[in-house]
């Protein structure tokens, strides 16, 4: 890789692993990066504003189920330090920002976490560092929000400071891919910045994908997630049509997936969850309005996906009505409140929306999730003072309805089928017809 005079020393430190790496935001994206950098021999400092999280990590315990405490202990032995003290940013050679980028109540981008984080770091920035933003955002964020803040310190970005955007591609709970095996896109403010970014990630990621600008990298991440959101919206709409026609959409998908070309299977569900798919498309729709472009296709998919919890509630209502029961006063057990199976990640979980809607209709709500023992406090949602209930044949018989919202592999589906009075299956887990199963 060719280098410029201005960035050669920083690149050398990344390549010989004498650099210190700073990870800002120790969540589902930041913590795996911490572990990966520590594993290959870098000193790592992790920054987070949550003192409880920092205390937990400092004690050597992982608070994320699929990340083992053993790996965290190995990182600590390699010198990993977790801190709330942002002044230590002056001690690192790279600052990788892994902070949330949610939507506000008007479904517009909320960059407060990014902006506040950068503002907290700016007083401690020094020459010959690189900042890499990994948070998903609209094209132009890196140039419009980070660049002027860095230059306010008198740095010339691309000469004595370096700026890149490299979107995260973590998929919590996916055992087929690890942090290092997922190809990583990287764009720089200048060519010198790109060279530094590639050196930053080159020792920890197996394949790097350079693009010509930070804007191209930002758009790449949005395209990936919009592609999924639109196709999930399509199959969710197909599910509603198929249901009206008395056709099992899951049977149709399985059959269509046998085509060896031109078809990629996507699966319907109770709504979108996770930190990307429900949120990221609206970052582009918001930015596109600045250019006078209406993103009708994306917004339509968003409308379909956002309506799915209401569709599921209507299926629960109809199913209870057929048993001469109303939602009001019925006991309903939600199976799975994480946003997808086999993880403890609650971000934007559609299960929470279902719980809120059913409780508002008067239902008595309980839940079971082997990955979420106590209902957490969630930004923007009602708090349920609940813990995961025991799942047994006897307990299942006591509920008027069991709503399968997240199909963890850990569940004993034959036990549930045998004992539940009524099952509303939003995930297509029950393939064969059964008198007590309603597919939603």
Residues with catalytic function: 276
How far, in Å, CA of 404 to CA of 427, rounded? 7
User: Which residues, in sequence order, are CB contacts of 353 under 8 Å at separation 6+?
Assistant: 271, 309, 381
SS3 75: helix
Which ranges constitute the DSSP H helices of 247-392?
Answer: 249-256, 280-290, 296-322, 350-360
How far, in Å, CA of 192 to CA of 114, rounded? 23
How far, in Å, CA of 179 to CA of 204, rounded? 8
Residues 84/49, Cβ–Cβ less than 8 Å:
yes
* Phi/psi at 261 (5° precision): -150, 150
Nearest Cα neighbor of 42 from 3, 9, 4, 81 is 81
How far, in Å, CA of 177 to CA of 433, rounded? 35
The β-bridge relationship of strands 331-335 and 423-425 is: unpaired
Q: How many CB atoms lie within 10 A of CB 178?
A: 14
Distances (CA, A) of 245 to 237, 269, 296, 437: 13, 18, 28, 17
| DSSP letter, residue 270 | S
How far, in Å, CA of 223 to CA of 242, rounded? 28
Q: How many residues does the chain have?
A: 440
Distances (CA, A) of 395 to 236, 262, 299: 32, 46, 42
How far, in Å, CA of 165 to CA of 196, rounded? 11
Residues 428/412, Cβ–Cβ less than 8 Å:
no
Residues 196/162, Cβ–Cβ less than 8 Å:
yes
Q: How many CB atoms lie within 10 A of CB 115?
A: 15
| DSSP letter, residue 27 | S
SS3 161: strand
């Amino acid at each position: 890789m060719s280098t410029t005079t201005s960035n050669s020393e920083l690149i050398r430190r990344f390549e010989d692993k004498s650099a210190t790496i700073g990870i800002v935001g120790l969540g589902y994206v930041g913590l795996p990066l911490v572990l990966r950098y520590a594993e290959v021999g870098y000193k790592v400092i992790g920054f987070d504003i949550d003192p409880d999280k920092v205390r937990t990590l400092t004690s050597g315990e992982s608070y994320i189920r699929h990340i083992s405490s053993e790996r965290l202990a190995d990182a600590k032995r390699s010198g990993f330090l977790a801190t709330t003290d942002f002044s230590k940013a002056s001690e690192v050679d790279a600052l990788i920002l892994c902070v949330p980028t949610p939507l506000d109540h008007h479904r517009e981008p909320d960059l407060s976490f990014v902006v506040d984080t950068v503002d907290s770091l700016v007083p401690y920035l020094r020459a010959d560092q690189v900042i890499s933003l990994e948070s998903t955002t609209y094209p132009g964020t890196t140039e419009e929000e980070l660049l002027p803040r860095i230059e306010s310190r008198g740095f010339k970005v691309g000469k004595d400071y370096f700026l890149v955007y490299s979107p995260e591609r973590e998929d919590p709970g996916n055992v087929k891919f690890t942090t290092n095996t997922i190809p990583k896109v990287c764009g720089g403010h200048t060519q010198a910045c790109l060279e530094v970014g590639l050196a930053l990630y080159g020792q920890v990621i197996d394949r790097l994908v350079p693009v010509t600008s930070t804007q191209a990298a930002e758009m790449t991440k949005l395209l990936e997630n919009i592609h999924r959101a639109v196709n999930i919206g399509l199959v969710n709409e197909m599910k509603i049509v198929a249901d009206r026609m008395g056709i099992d959409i899951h049977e149709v998908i399985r059959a269509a997936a046998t085509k060896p070309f031109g078809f990629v299977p996507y699966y319907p569900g109770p709504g979108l969850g996770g930190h990307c798919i429900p949120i990221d498309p609206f970052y582009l729709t918001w930015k596109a309005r600045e250019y006078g472009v209406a993103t009708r296709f994306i917004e339509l998919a968003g409308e379909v996906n956002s309506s799915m919890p209401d569709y599921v509630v209507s299926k629960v209502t109809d199913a209870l009505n057929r048993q001469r029961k109303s939602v009001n006063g019925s006991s309903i057990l939600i199976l799975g409140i994480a946003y997808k199976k086999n993880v403890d990640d609650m971000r934007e979980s559609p299960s929470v929306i279902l719980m809120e809607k059913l409780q508002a209709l008067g239902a008595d709500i309980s839940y079971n999730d082997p990955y979420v023992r106590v209902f957490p406090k969630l930004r923007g949602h009602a708090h349920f003072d609940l813990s995961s209930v025991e799942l047994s044949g006897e307990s299942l018989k006591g509920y008027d309805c069991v709503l399968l919202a997240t199909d963890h592999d850990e569940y004993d589906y034959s036990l549930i089928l045998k004992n539940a009075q009524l099952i509303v299956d939003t995930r297509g887990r029950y393939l064969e017809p059964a008198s007590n199963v309603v597919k939603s």
